[in-house]
Structure 1
Amino acid sequence: MIKCIVIDDEQPAIEIMKYYISKIPELDLVGTFNNPLLGIKEIKKKGVNLVFLDVQMEQMTGLDVMNVINENVKVILCTAFSQYALDGFNLDAVDYLLKPISFDRFSKAVKKALSTFNNEFSPSSLEILDDDHIFVKTEQKGKLIKIYFKDVDYIEAMGNYVAFHQGKTKIVAYSTMKDLEEILPRNIFMRIHKSYIVTLPKISMIENGFVVLNNGHKISIGSNYKEAFISKMKFKTL
């Protein structure tokens, strides 16, 4: 995966970028920074591959940041001001995104960035998700079924297959849990057991090591997944 960070002095802009990044499996967000100086330290410390960088910031401009970071680090500039585009490209920015940034435009910039890395990160391996659904391969050859995220209660492992549980309906698809983890949006789905991925908005209760879904179904939280799950839930706990 490509390690990336976001440097922007406006928190709403950072939140949008975090959401977009979560929808692209090849990207691993390792930090966000309002202060560009702290962002520069992170780039040097963690071996960051890609930076989503605001241009106009109080402490220093994005162009100044580009002048001091390693040339092997790819940069996608993000700003509301088009007049800096030429300067950005002169400093070898991968792309230049004008705010407000749509997901479609964002994904095109990411594809361009991926093409500059090794073949393992090439655009051909990039599977961009639509906002609300995916298509899955079924047991029947040549057949694909559209599955809306909002309809899924949980996903169950079945060897080389998985079962999407939607109320009283079960759709069996040809996939592995590992593949699903990489492709499903992390803000909606999370693996909590070696055999289960749950739809986070469908959780009604967490009790005694179990997740209780809106339909009353209980799923055990696996010991290897407990710490990550609790950490994620802390952001939604009063």
Structure 2
Amino acid sequence: MLKQRIRCLAVDDEPPALDVIVHHIQAVPSLELVGTSPDAIEAMSMLTTKAVDLLFLDIQMPQLLGTDFVRTLRNPPKLIFTTAHREFAVEGYDLNAVDYLLKPISFERFLKAVNKVIEQAPVTTIAAPETPRKDGFLYFRTNRKTMKVAVQDILYFESIGDYIKVVTNNKTIVTKQAISALEEELAHYSFVRIHRSFIVAMDKIDSYSKEIIEVNRQQLPVSRMYRLEVERRLK
């Protein structure tokens, strides 16, 4: 039996700051990143469609301050504020925030805040994860028709703007789809996200290092954001 991971949503309008939070979340096995958002308005919508246990929330954002956003929530998740401005600390704690992280956020300080959440979380268990499926098919819309692709034939996926390139043993398909949606669809199969733009079939990996994964003589980049998760999964 395993402890259930804490499902996290990260909200920040500054991409570099958001990348730091995402990287920290992915480095902690007890955390699960379920989404990111650049503003409170989009985050509000995401909270209605996703199960979120812990919200990492910037305070100074366009349209709606993080503190004002929290006040609109009837049943907010556990909350950790992230900001560059110390003067918001008192207001943050008044909103029952678990902690208040000042940017730039070190991993050590991040982990200290997360441990507070873990200590407060109820101890629940879930069944051991099922063995990833190797059979089955995926369907992709391309050139006005839908193509059926055997999962076991897929080498990797590459995101190119609003499109996904599906690379298999004998063909390449281009379809309009977001890589984040595709990643959710692949949850029951043995794939790993190695980069913002790449998802790879784990059983098709020929070799790997911290920076590169080789699949069918093709070298694909491993980004710093996903490196720890990639190493954990491949080991």
Specify the TM-score bucket, using the shorter chain as the normaliser: 0.5 to 0.7
Q: Which residue of 2 aligns with 1:201?
A: 211
Aligned-pair Cα RMSD in Å: 3.1
Q: Which residue of 2 aligns with 1:50?
A: 54
CA contact (8 A) 1:88 1:96 kept: yes
Q: Which amino acid in structure 1 is aligned with residue 62 of structure 2?
A: E
Q: Which residue of 1 aligns with 2:45?
A: 41
1:13 positional shift: 0.4
Cα pair distance change 1:119/1:67, threshold 3 Å: same
Q: Which residue of 2 aligns with 1:141?
A: none
Q: Which amino acid in structure 2 is aligned with residue 21 of structure 1?
A: I
Question: Which of 89, 92, 106 pairs up with 2:96?
Answer: 92
1:197 positional shift: 9.5
1:193 positional shift: 3.2
Is there any run of 5+ residues in structure 1 with no aligned partner, and where? Answer: 122-180, 214-231, 233-238
Q: Which residue of 1 aligns with 2:174?
A: none
Q: Which amino acid in structure 1 is aligned with residue 202 of structure 2?
A: I
Identity among equivalent positions (%) equals: 36
Cα pair distance change 1:70/1:113, threshold 3 Å: farther
Is there any run of 5+ residues in structure 2 with no aligned partner, and where? Answer: 126-189, 221-229, 231-235
Provide the rounded CA distance (Å) in 2 between the counterparts of 1:73 and 1:50. Answer: 5
Structure 2 residue 80 is matched with structure 1 residue 76:
yes
Provide the rounded CA distance (Å) in 1 between the counterparts of 2:43 and 2:113. Answer: 21
- How many residue pairs match? The answer is 147
TM-score, structure 1 length as denominator? 0.54
Provide the rounded CA distance (Å) in 2 between the counterparts of 1:84 and 1:96. Answer: 9
1:17 positional shift: 0.8
Q: Which residue of 2 aligns with 1:24?
A: 28
1:31 positional shift: 1.1
Q: Which amino acid in structure 1 is aligned with residue 79 of structure 2?
A: V
1:212 positional shift: 7.9
Provide the rounded CA distance (Å) in 2 between the counterparts of 1:78 and 1:16. Answer: 11
- Secondary structure of 1:83's counterpart equals helix
TM-score, structure 2 length as denominator? 0.55
Provide the rounded CA distance (Å) in 1 between the counterparts of 2:97 and 2:52. Answer: 15
Instruction: Write the deviation string for residues 71-130 of structure 1: whole angstroms up to 9, x where unpaired.
Output: 350110000111111111111001000111111000000111112211249xxxxxxxxx
